[in-house]
Amino acid sequence: MTLAQTLPTKADEAWRYADLKAVESVWQAVDMPESVVVAAGQSEQKTLILETGEAQIRQLHIVLEEGARVDVACLAAAPGYGRVEIDIDVASGAHFEMGGAIVGADDQTLEIVTRVNHHAPDATSNQVVRSVLAGKATGSFLGKIDIARDAQRIDAEQSVKSMLLNRGATANAKPELEIYADDVKCAHGATVGELDKQALFYMASRGLDPVTAKRLMLHAFVADAFVDVDGETSAVEEQALAALEALL
């Protein structure tokens, strides 16, 4: 996947689940991919939050130099169409960490699309994505991991879990691993489920009203994607939790 400069079509795998009408409406306005270079040995944090605007596309191209680290936290919760795209090159000894949440209802189409390019050995990446979808919303995660022939001893992880609150909601999870090296660890897991009914009854039997019970479970589910900073809930997690309120 290169960040497309011509209007994408459904034939383009990375845009297969996109709301192409919405894409067309904003295509001219999409900025060139924001480019971030993290210098050797440095670390950086990036936050991408899509929560307003009818249609939004944010593209990020990150280059991690040797031993660099980036922590990306993102939330796709735009009212209409929202897409976060991350394309990252990971050098030796570097680490890419991403936590993402997709929170949608109604007719929202939301997606997080990543491509991790492990072109050099001894590097690591970890991606955790949690989606909560209600109404007729569609949430998609497309995660491509390329590991080049010489990129030995890579440890690349991907965990994608989706929770559907209504029958009409759709979750797509598409891990795509292209591995040419022979000494790598690549763990990926994808699940799609709904709220645990047994747990909901257990909570009700203790006196929790249904809304509070749902809130507790969904908060815990989404919190998986984010790490607390100095014991404080991060800003992006706060926003994700606020977006969840609309689904209760």
Partner 1 sequence: MLKISNLHATVGETEILKGLSLELNPGEIHAIMGPNGAGKSTLAYALGGRPGYEVTKGSASFDGTDLLDIDPHERAAAGLFLGFQYPVEIPGVSNLQFLRESLNSQRKERGEKELSGAEFIRLAKEKAALLKMDMDMLKRAVNVGFSGGEKKRNEMVQMGILDPKLAILDETDSGLDIDALRIVGSGINAIMRKPDKAVLLITHYQRLLDEVKPDFVHVLADGRIVKTGGPELALQLENEGYEAIAEAA
Residue 1 binds partner 1, judged by CB under 8 A = no
- CA–CA separation, 63 and 58 (whole Å): 17
To partner 1, the closest distance from the beta carbon of 218 in angstroms equals: 10
- CA–CA separation, 144 and 177 (whole Å): 6
**Angle, CA 73 vertex, CA 70 and CA 76 arms, to 5°:** 140
- CA–CA separation, 176 and 168 (whole Å): 26
Site size for partner 1 (CB under 8 A):
23
**Angle, CA 160 vertex, CA 157 and CA 166 arms, to 5°:** 175
Q: Which amino acid is at 63?
A: V
The residue among 113 and 160 lying less far from partner 1, judged by its C-beta, is: 160
- CA–CA separation, 122 and 154 (whole Å): 5
Residue 217 binds partner 1, judged by CB under 8 A = yes
Piece of the chain touching partner 1 by CB under 8 A; list 34-42, 72-80, 181-189, 217-225: 217-225
Q: Which of 221, 226, 240, 244 binds partner 1 (CB under 8 A)?
A: 221
The footprint of partner 1 on residues 187-206 (CB under 8 A) is 196-199, 201-206
Tell me the angle at which helices 197-205 and 210-223 cross, rounded to the nearest 10 degrees: 130
Query: Mask: binding to partner 1, 139-178, rule CB under 8 A, as x and -?
Result: ----------------------------------------
The residue among 17 and 226 lying less far from partner 1, judged by its C-beta, is: 226
Contacts with partner 1, residue ranges (CB under 8 A): 196-199, 201-210, 212-213, 216-217, 219-221, 223-224
